[in-house]
Structure 1
């Protein structure tokens, strides 16, 4: 399991960027910050959980014994459901072997794996920073009413 002080400092940094009031945790109980209302679910409970609210933070620990025996397809189901429905931002603690899965789902790495000796990495998904909007994607370039009578389209 990742060092607790790394998780605590990461939660403080995320809270400073955007307030976190509710958090969902899968894989291990985490009660790091008393200001955050934590909801813990195991894998089966989470996959059967109906969508009733969107949490500010989803926290997944993939390097526990329960999560290590899961097939990669089920890990992907958990992360996709969390990403698309249940959480605004997601933080994943994983081992190096999950790098391909996390990159394919659009996660970005928070801690460089070469900066420490342990077999863990921190990943995040934030829809606000997932894709930058290009310059050409605005209403200025969508239609050119001044050219409607000049050119045949």
Structure 2
């Protein structure tokens, strides 16, 4: 119950940053709880989702890795599910994961938003395709051609 309240508040904040029109959830059915946010939610069963062909890209995906069905997945299946969501299905992904999934989440490029380990031994992770990688300072047109050095140095 506390988890749904946390997710509801987080979705409110994410919607203020960037509009959310479509969303999907796996392991946590949010369609009834968030009907007032004007978000078109789709709920999928995890094993069914892994076999679905790509249909559309969603603005947001919410996954609860400690769902009864997902607890029976091996680490490779969990990784496959999250990577499929990250690469094809969603621009932003919110994952509620247990403490032992921390290495997996970091390896897949997720940022830890917060953890509430004292209550339920879980952490909340976010992947946003728009800011998952910080652009290095040197990666711009100023440093590539160096026309001011063309007749000064021999490369």
What displacement does 1:148 show?
A: 2.4
- 1:108 is aligned to 111
TM-score normalised by structure 2 residue count: 0.90
- 1:33 is aligned to 34
CA contact (8 A) 1:2 1:93 kept: no
What displacement does 1:85 show?
A: 1.0
1:110-149 counterparts in 2 under 5 A?
Answer: 110-113=113-116, 116-149=118-151
The alignment of Structure 1 onto Structure 2 pairs a total of residues equal to 152
1:1-153 counterparts in 2 under 5 A?
Answer: 2-31=2-31, 32-34=33-35, 35-113=38-116, 116-153=118-155
* Alignment root-mean-square deviation, CA: 1.6
Structure 1 residues not aligned, in runs of 5+? none
Question: What SS class does the counterpart of residue 51 from structure 1 fall into?
Answer: coil
How far apart in 1 are the matches of 2:113 and 2:21? 21
TM-score normalised by structure 1 residue count: 0.91
What displacement does 1:117 show?
A: 2.5
